[in-house]
Amino acid sequence: MRALGRIAYWLAALALLTAILFSLDYTLAQAVLISLIFCPCALALEYLMPKARKPMDKVYLSLAVLVAVIVLILFLHYSIWSRINQFGYQSEKQVAPMLINPAFLGLILTALSIGDFFWAKWLGRRFKAEDRTVTFFSERKSVTLKLSDIAYVESNDTEVRVVTASGESYRNKTGISQWENLLSDGFLRIHRSYLVNTALSTPGPQDTVLVGGKELPVSRKYKDSVKAELASR
């Protein structure tokens, strides 16, 4: 349901951008194509920005995304559409000044990214993980657990341990990064070796997180994101 909610958000965003561009005298097809440029760029900004730890890295990332959007828009206008126009399929269209204005582009990208972020948060609260399950193999046996029952995942070299809130532990060969993608919302990476259930986690002393009575270390790489996530709950 949450995946459908995210898809609905981006379809609505695409429709709104298309309507704005259509009002700038672009054809419907042109408006849709330009709108499609913004969506992946906004997603890249949303997902890469938290990984940029230094302020200047965030600036460089923002500039890179802005440049990418402008280059793609100019490419559409002066390469793709100009060639199509040579064959008489489509009338030529000069680029609208707003579409090469960094302030306007930055506003659109920021609005899309922030909107999707908070929409995903709302979906996460609306459709909680209690009813979601994950199935994996442990000791050659199939195990199915509710996501809400998983306290944390611990990586130990060639294998991981999936630890439940009740203290049960299951060994598995799937890498912790794959577990991070599999569990997705509601789980937070706090260390190269630990992935925790935020619903069962509280800040611990110094750079640690308390999960089910166990104190787990928070590495410097994840310190800021862990602090922000747990503070927002």
d(CA 225, CA 16): 31
Q: Is the pLDDT of residue 80 over 50?
A: yes
Percent of the chain at pLDDT exceeding 70: 88
Q: How does pLDDT run across 161-183, given as a tens digit for each residue? A: 999 999 899 999 888 888 988 88
In the chain, where the domains are located: 2-126, 130-231
Tell me the average pLDDT of the chain. 85
Place of tokens 């909107």: 115
Give backbone dihedrals phi and psi of 145, rounded to 5 degrees, phi first.
Answer: -130, 145
CA dihedral 13, 18, 19, 21 (to 10 degrees): 130
pLDDT in tens, 22-46: 998 888 988 999 999 999 999 888 8
For 104-152, what is each residue's pLDDT tens digit?
999 999 999 999 988 887 877 666 655 678 899 998 899 999 888 999 9
Q: Which two tokens stand for residue 123?
A: 């979906």
Q: Measured between alpha carbons, how far is 182 from 209 in angstroms, rounded to an integer? A: 22
Q: Judging by beta carbons within 10 Å of its beta carbon (0-12, 13-18, 19+), is residue 209 exposed, middle or buried?
A: buried
pTM of this prediction? Answer: 0.55
- CATH topology classification for 130-231: OB fold (Dihydrolipoamide Acetyltransferase, E2P) (2.40.50)
Give SS3 for 152: strand
Stretch 45-63: mean pLDDT: 83
